[in-house]
Amino acid sequence: MILTGLVIGALLGIVMQRGRFCVTGMLRDIFLQKSWRTFAALLVVISVHAIGLTALTSAGVISPNYPSFAPLAVIVGGFMFGIGIILAGGCASGTWYRSGEGLVGSWIALAMYALSASAMKTGVLKGFNSGMKQWDTGLTTIPSALGVSPWLFVIVLAAVTGVMVRHFLNREKNTGKPARLNGRPAWKKPLHVYTAGALVGLLGVIAWPLSAATGRNDGLGITTPTANLLNFLVTGADGKLDWGVMLVLGILVGSFIAAKSTGEFRVRVPDATTTVRSIAGGLLMGVGAALAGGCTVGNGMVQTSLFTFQGWVALLFIALGVAVATRIWLKPTVTQPATGEDGTYSTAQSLDHTVGATAPDDNSIDAAPTAGAPRTSGANVFSGFAAAPAALMVKDPAGAPSKKLTGLGDGYYALDSLGAVCPFPLIEAKDVMQTLQTGEHLVIDFDCTQATEAIPQWAATDGHEVTDFVEKGDASWQITLKKG
């Protein structure tokens, strides 16, 4: 029976990968883009979950155990988890499914997440974990505390969610649909984030009775299963290999299948900065989720749908952690190239996205290298455009295009975001677009899967025209925007 966890997990991995579904991005968008559009997708998950789980509970099919609210642990843990998911580049489920896309940074974060969660639940930090939870209010669900039926909360939540979804769908209709990749068959196109949200919620409802049938009285969950997987691998204890472990392994398998079949899988090795952040983020995620009693799935999707104090307070403080971490770490890079004594840049410095220390030998842009292939000195990742004649650039001219850009001639400028993890391709694109004139073009090369949705969505919202959007190889894309 525990194999049903593998099936549900695989379906969940496929839906999340095809829907670019990650709660980190949903919370991050509130503070980074001042948009609640994707957060509405999380409310879709919670609403579908709430309707299904409340119905199953009312019918006696399931009997959830509602956690008692321990404020200190939930608040501190939620805040730590929120910071951790920004550093790691994804929430708990997001880290699992992005691992299936080949992101080595997610592999590292996942290993640290498993290690710290295991230490908190059964290892050297178990005493700290239990000590933080000593302040226990005894409160469980909000409806029981108020003495009302949970169906009242279900109806209100569903109504609020419906209003928000309708609002953002109407806005999409009025501003125009975001551009899609040229020439891609329908089955390879990503799921709309609201469709993905509804499917995740439905899978969560189905998951609970299947899990309960194996003796695990719970639904979707990531933190405890991830810790149990590590404990099983280290100790070989059969009791750790349960339905939840099959679920998280299924997410990895499903995501890999989805990514591989659509050309979105490629092993991508992070740079040193991303690696360090992945380590720190993973450790904070495990500690924070163990303290809070769950992650963005266990608390943010399941406990919120049960209307527990723990679920909603944890989600609030996860969001606050995301807000703080977004403000600190999610900023565009600042380029400060060296200048000569005369205050001008050399030709190589003017073409500051040319790889290597020397300038190109001619005025043409080399063809893009094969995806995943190492870049050679002097090679440029942009192809199909003629380069502007080589010339010295005056130091920081007022109103000039960003020095992060490579001039391609005829009003075209290129931004190399290959290797940058999300949301940095979007952050950098927004930053450099401000330095261009209306009608000029920005050509972006990137290999972050989530940016295939985020960049076109931003372009549609801000009034920029997508004139070209193509695949350049496995998990590698190029999009051209005309500034509106």
Which residues have a catalytic role annotated? 422
By the 10 Å C-beta count (0-12 exposed, 13-18 middle, 19+ buried), 174 is classed as exposed
Element (DSSP H or E) covering residue 467: strand 465-473
Phi, psi of 64 (to 5 degrees): -60, 145
Cα 111 to Cα 115: distance, rounded to the nearest angstrom:
6
Token readout for 427 is 């952050």
Cα 250 to Cα 340: distance, rounded to the nearest angstrom:
56
The 8-class DSSP code of residue 328 comes to H
Classify 407 in phi/psi space as left (phi over 0), alpha (psi -120 to 50) or beta. beta
Q: DSSP strand E in 250-391: where?
A: 344-345
Which residue type does 133 have? K
Cα 209 to Cα 55: distance, rounded to the nearest angstrom:
12
Cα 316 to Cα 300: distance, rounded to the nearest angstrom:
9
Cα 186 to Cα 379: distance, rounded to the nearest angstrom:
34
Hey, which residues does 393 pair with through a beta bridge?
345
Q: Give the HSE-up count for residue 108: Cα atoms under 13 Å, Cβ half-sphere.
A: 21
**CB environment 393-420: b (16+ within 10 A), e (fewer):** beeeeeeebbbbbbbbeeebbbbbbbbb
**Residue holding tokens 């398998």?**
253
Query: Taken in order 38, 40, 42, 44, is the CA torsion positive or negative?
Result: negative
Whether residue 456 is preceded by a cis peptide bond, meaning omega within 30 degrees of 0, is no
Number of H helices, E strands in the chain: 18, 7
| β-sheet with 476-482: strand ranges across | 406-409, 412-417, 441-446, 476-482, 465-473
CB 62 within 8 A of CB 122: no
Say what the alpha-carbon torsion angle 416, 460, 100, 243 is, to the nearest 10 degrees: 160
Token readout for 327 is 């403000």
Residue among 116, 301, 296, 117 nearest 224 (CA)? 117
Cα 311 to Cα 295: distance, rounded to the nearest angstrom:
9
Classify 35 in phi/psi space as left (phi over 0), alpha (psi -120 to 50) or beta. beta
